[in-house]
Structure 1
Amino acid sequence: MQSVVRVFVLSSPSGAPHPGPEFTVEASTHDGLLEAVHAELAARGHRVRAVSHTPTGLLAYVEDRS
């Protein structure tokens, strides 16, 4: 299965999130999708705060490490 991931980036702990890039992950299970999202976001230099399933895909909130 495939899922589109919508990313929102938190630049500071008290700041409002801003939209980040969207990307697609693929895995054979829902748990596999979550693992793929965590791996991809870590590779992009983000610390994952939360990932949720939505009716239209996955939603991720991340901290920007840069």
Structure 2
Amino acid sequence: MTLIKNVGKTDRNIRLAAGGVLVFLGIVTNTVLFSIIGLVVLATGAIGTCPAYMPLNINTNKDDKA
């Protein structure tokens, strides 16, 4: 199964930064929920595919390369 890259460069950078902050916040405050959400955001930024974008037909990737 090939995942469509639907996360653009700016979107990926924001996701990576926000995910890192959430994971850090989860570790510092000992809150598992922040850590889990942060890991999901980091993963979607790292792989370039957001499953939530698929049913909504959102694509921030301007390269059109899958």
Normalising by structure 2, we get a TM-score of 0.30
Say which structure, 1 or 2, has more relative contact order (CA 8 Å, 6+ apart): 2
The structure in which a higher percent of residues are strand is 1
Larger radius of gyration: 2
TM-score w.r.t. length of structure 1:
0.30
Q: Greater helix percent: which structure? A: 2
